[in-house]
């Protein structure tokens, strides 16, 4: 889906290229490089990119990096804050929370706001065992038991497979790892695509509903009939059907991973690097409304986009064009082979029996109020949370400067209520 981070990336890349070009194109002797770059960082090259675990540990929290094997051979990376160093509760049984990112994102997105506002930190300090997932194909999930990322078959997946296999494997893994042993269920939080994959899993494999205590859907994306995003609606007629354009675009990596480019962006935007002001000025020029956590945005540039398959995007565009929440459309001939019908089947969301909380807003271009409420009507057990702020948009669920007060703390309160009500059961 369209992201403001893409625009920022283009600006930063342009600035980096312009700086490099000026250096090599200028007349000999015109630039005193030692005077200009009299900084040790300039002499040791680019730093390695920090991982989610590195960023968590930098704030004093315990952090872990796990690799989980899915049923279909993908190896996905998940990060964990097992307990709070403030509470020292590592010897206590701690409720489990799994948090899942959106499209072209990764686990880094959840910790960008820092320990005062970021949901994983707040959950850990409330006594939870926090796991942050990564869908196949992103920065932390680029491995398979038999396929290389250079093989086209590696990229033949949509968010359908992320839900059915990746999320299912993460849930089972968390429940089978030390603190999880003896626990039967977890809390789940997803943003955007992180909600889509939940709906796909719970409706297609309803036995997983019993493994969910509460589920919190930030900007839930399923039905997309009334979606207002202009780019998706413009691309719909070309990519949302079985056209030549869709065939050319499908089953490949979106914005192919480039280690040098990611390292460059990371170094530009890291707090202790000399070019951090370039990154900050770029963000300031793009966000002047005062709604975004400005401290988090440069780190967002350093970690995003994080990769995905173009089939994930095609699947969403198909949803917008059809108006239905249904499985991937391969075209009548292959649909008959895969599904036994010329049209892909709808997800039976009526089978989602877990306690689902839908958090949605009036100004979300990706998740229209009408579509979220239409989905809610079909869910057996749901709670609707319409944000009071009429300007709250899709990105605010992750990066609003008041996300702690208006979203994270209310979500934790609901989890706490569940835990207290079931502590004696």
Q: Hey, is 187 helix, strand or coil?
A: strand
Q: At residue 19, does pLDDT exceed 80?
A: no
Q: At residue 107, does pLDDT exceed 70?
A: yes
355/380 Cα distance (integer angstroms) = 9
How does DSSP assign 10-26, residue by residue? HHHHHHHHHHHHHHHHS
Q: What is the DSSP letter of 35?
A: H
155/205 Cα distance (integer angstroms) = 23
In a domain, 278, yes or no: no
Between 25 and 345, residue with greater pLDDT: 345
In a domain, 298, yes or no: no
Q: At residue 2, does pLDDT exceed 50?
A: no
Q: What is the CATH number of the domain that holds 59?
A: 3.40.50.1820
In a domain, 243, yes or no: no
155/172 Cα distance (integer angstroms) = 24
- Per-residue tokens: 393: 């948009």
In a domain, 176, yes or no: yes
196/221 Cα distance (integer angstroms) = 6
Q: Hey, is 64 helix, strand or coil?
A: strand
pLDDT at res. 280: 60
Is the torsion defined by CA of 217, 221, 227, 233 positive or negative? positive
Between 257 and 147, residue with greater pLDDT: 147
Between 320 and 25, residue with greater pLDDT: 320
Question: What value does the mean pLDDT take over residues 317-339?
Answer: 96
Least confident of 135-139, 143-147, 227-231, 366-370: 227-231
pLDDT at res. 266: 58
Q: At residue 221, does pLDDT exceed 70?
A: yes
pLDDT at res. 399: 84
In a domain, 249, yes or no: no
pLDDT digits (tens, 9 = 90+) for 383-418: 999 999 999 999 899 888 899 999 999 999 999 999
pTM: 0.83
Q: At residue 425, does pLDDT exceed 80?
A: no
pLDDT at res. 29: 45
Between 112 and 407, residue with greater pLDDT: 407
Which among 115, 93, 112 has a CA at the least distance from the CA of 102? 112
- Per-residue tokens: 222: 């399923």
From the number of C-beta atoms within 10 Å of its C-beta (0-12, 13-18, 19+), residue 220 rates as: buried
Q: Which residues pair with 260 in a beta bridge?
A: none
Q: At residue 341, does pLDDT exceed 70?
A: yes
Q: At residue 193, does pLDDT exceed 90?
A: yes
pLDDT at res. 313: 94
pLDDT at res. 244: 87
Among all residues, which ones are annotated catalytic?
A: 192, 364, 394
pLDDT at res. 267: 61
Between 221 and 22, residue with greater pLDDT: 221
pLDDT at res. 247: 85
pLDDT digits (tens, 9 = 90+) for 266-284: 565 666 555 556 666 655 5
Which among 178, 200, 205, 153 has a CA at the least distance from the CA of 92? 178
pLDDT at res. 305: 77
Q: At residue 11, does pLDDT exceed 60?
A: no
- Cβ atoms within 10 A of the Cβ of 127, count? 18
Question: What value does the mean pLDDT take over residues 3-32?
Answer: 46
424 pLDDT band, cuts 50/70/90, is: low
In a domain, 255, yes or no: no
In a domain, 375, yes or no: yes
pLDDT at res. 423: 83
Under 8 Å between Cβ of 111 and 300: no
pLDDT at res. 148: 95
Q: At residue 369, does pLDDT exceed 90?
A: yes
Which among 196, 238, 242 has a CA at the least distance from the CA of 217? 196
Question: What value does the mean pLDDT take over residues 241-257?
Answer: 80
The whole domain housing 137 covers 52-223+352-423
pLDDT digits (tens, 9 = 90+) for 113-171: 899 999 999 999 999 999 999 999 999 999 999 999 999 899 999 999 999 999 999 99
307 pLDDT band, cuts 50/70/90, is: confident
Number of domains, the chain: 1
pLDDT at res. 26: 46
187 pLDDT band, cuts 50/70/90, is: very high
Q: At residue 47, does pLDDT exceed 80?
A: no
256 pLDDT band, cuts 50/70/90, is: low
Per the listing, tokens 């480019």 go with: 261
**Mean pLDDT score of the chain:** 85
In a domain, 95, yes or no: yes
Least confident of 35-49, 117-131, 186-200: 35-49
pLDDT at res. 312: 95
**Phi, psi values for residue 400, rounded to 5°:** -65, 140
pLDDT at res. 24: 39
357/359 Cα distance (integer angstroms) = 6
Question: What value does the mean pLDDT take over residues 49-78?
Answer: 95
């Amino acid at each position: 889906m369209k992201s403001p981070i893409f625009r920022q990336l283009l600006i930063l890349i342009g600035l980096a290229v312009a700086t490099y070009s000026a250096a090599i194109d200028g007349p000999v002797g015109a630039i005193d490089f030692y005077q200009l770059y009299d900084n040790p960082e300039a002499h040791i090259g680019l730093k390695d990119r920090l991982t989610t675990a590195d960023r968590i540990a930098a704030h004093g929290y315990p952090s872990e990096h796990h690799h989980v094997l899915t049923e279909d051979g993908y190896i996905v990376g998940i990060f964990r804050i097992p307990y709070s160093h403030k509470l020292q509760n590592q010897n206590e049984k701690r409720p489990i929370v799994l948090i899942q990112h959106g499209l072209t994102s990764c686990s880094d997105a959840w910790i960008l706001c820092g320990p005062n506002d970021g949901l994983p930190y707040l959950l850990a300090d409330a006594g939870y065992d926090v796991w942050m997932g990564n869908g196949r194909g992103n920065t932390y999930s680029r491995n398979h038991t038999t396929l290389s990322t250079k093989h086209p078959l590696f990229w033949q997946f949509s968010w359908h497979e992320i839900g059915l296999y990746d999320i299912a494997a993460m849930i089972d893994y968390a429940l089978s790892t030390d603190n999880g042993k003896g626990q039967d269920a977890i809390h789940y939080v997803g943003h955007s695509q992180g909600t889509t994959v939940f709906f796909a899993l719970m409706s297609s494999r309803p036995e997983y509903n019993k493994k969910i205590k509460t589920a919190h859907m930030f900007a839930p994306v399923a039905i997309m009939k009334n979606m207002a995003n202009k780019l998706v609606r413009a691309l719909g007629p070309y990519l949302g059907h079985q056209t030549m354009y869709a065939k050319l675009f499908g089953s490949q990596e979106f914005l192919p991973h480039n280690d040098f480019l990611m390292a460059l962006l990371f170094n530009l935007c890291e707090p202790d690097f000399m070019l951090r002001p370039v990154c900050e000025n770029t963000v300031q020029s793009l966000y002047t409304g005062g709604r975004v956590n400005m401290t988090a945005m440069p780190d967002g540039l350093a970690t995003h986009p994080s990769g995905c398959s173009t089939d994930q995007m095609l699947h969403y565009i198909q949803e917008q064009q059809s108006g239905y929440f249904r499985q991937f459309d391969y075209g009548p001939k292959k649909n008959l082979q895969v599904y036994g019908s010329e049209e892909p089947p709808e997800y039976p969301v009526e089978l989602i029996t877990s306690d689902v909380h839908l958090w949605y807003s009036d100004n979300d271009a990706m998740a229209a109020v009408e579509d979220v409420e239409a989905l809610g009507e079909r869910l057996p057990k749901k709670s609707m949370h319409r944000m009071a702020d009429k300007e709250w948009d899709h990105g605010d669920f992750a990066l609003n400067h008041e996300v702690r007060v208006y979203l994270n703390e209310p979500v934790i309160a609901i989890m706490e209520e569940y835990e207290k009500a079931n502590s004696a059961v």
